[in-house]
Structure 1
Amino acid sequence: MPEEKITFVNGEPAKCGCQMKFSSGGGDYSDVLYVMPCAAHSPKPFGPVEVKRDKDGWWYHPNIPNFGEDEDPAPYTAWTKEQGLELKGWHSGDEIYDLPEEDAACTAWNPESPGPEWFLMGIFDTEDGPYVQWARREVAP
């Protein structure tokens, strides 16, 4: 199998979507080149993992990158598009029932997948209450 080369020109992302960041090390260490592979070049594609919710019922997919404390959804949205993911989510109150008032977390809520090809991205708290988000690979038209 021939070796594939990823080419970066003037610090711009490669045609495939891989990105590169350079650091001179500020004189403290050697030059460092960081490569963030696109979905096609990621060593292992992002996908479903075993779900083990915590004692309050919350869970996040462990392979979602950390986008910092900023609440701006743009980096997350860009990352999901780069991964080729379609997202679907809803709040617990959008379902047939609401959570029992005594359930301050979401241990009583067990949302069902929208279909067999969907996998869980997370069950987390929002200002509007518990929220679930599912993902699947985008389906080609």
Structure 2
Amino acid sequence: MPEEKITFVNGEPSKCGCQMKFSSGGGEYSDVLYVMPCATHSPKPFGPVEVRRDESGWWDHPDIPSFEGEDPAPYVAWADGQNLERKGWRMLDELDGHPYENGEAHCNGWEPESPGPDWFLMGIFDTEDGPYVNWARRITQQVTA
């Protein structure tokens, strides 16, 4: 993949919208170049996306990295690093008499509700204990005096 170059001419914003500011450091520091990335070049924060469940009712957030094996520790460490609080539950604890209990491999008809307005869906997936929903919300740092 070729490396993308962002070009600034005469201190003007780049064609994409990235901006830069130059400082000579006022004699105290070396020259400093500040770059303010545009939306295209800014790191994309992990968060809510459009949910389109498949024909069996399953869905995984497309921005969750792939983790090898069944050990949940790498996933938990990643989610903690994203400052996410997670909440989830099993379909079979919420619904009675779903066809999944009779061997059908879907969770259609289950529409788990968000725990609150700040929560977004991480996934609806199958586990050894049946269909499971996982929600998340961003933990905001609160400054205390």
TM-score interval (norm. to shorter): 0.5 to 0.7
Count of residues in Structure 1 that have an aligned counterpart in Structure 2: 103
Percent identical: 64
Deviation at residue 95 of structure 1 after TM alignment = 1.5
In 1, distance between residues paired with 2:83 and 2:97? Answer: 32
Superimposed CA distance per residue, residues 43-100 of structure 1 (whole angstroms, 9 cap, x where no aligned partner): 01100000000000000000001112x1011111010011000000000122254524
TM-score (norm 1): 0.66
2:43 alignment partner AA: P
Retained in 2: the 8 A contact 1:92–1:98? Answer: no
Q: Which runs of 4+ in 1 moved over 3 A?
A: 1-4, 100-104
- Across the aligned residues of Structure 1 and Structure 2, the Cα RMSD in angstroms comes to 2.0
In 1, distance between residues paired with 2:48 and 2:97? Answer: 27
Query: 1:57–1:96: structure 2 CA closer, same or farther, 3 Å change rule?
Result: closer
Aligned to 2:63: 63
TM-score (norm 2): 0.64
Aligned to 2:48: 48
Q: Which has the larger radius of gyration?
A: 2
Question: 1:18-97 residue pairs with structure 2 within 5 A?
Answer: 43-68=43-68, 70-95=69-94, 97=96
Query: 1:3–1:93: structure 2 CA closer, same or farther, 3 Å change rule?
Result: same
Q: Which runs of 5+ in 1 are unaligned?
A: 5-41
In 1, distance between residues paired with 2:133 and 2:115? Answer: 11
Retained in 2: the 8 A contact 1:60–1:121? Answer: yes
In 1, distance between residues paired with 2:98 and 2:57? Answer: 12
Retained in 2: the 8 A contact 1:92–1:109? Answer: yes
Q: Which runs of 5+ in 2 are unaligned?
A: 1-20, 22-32, 36-41
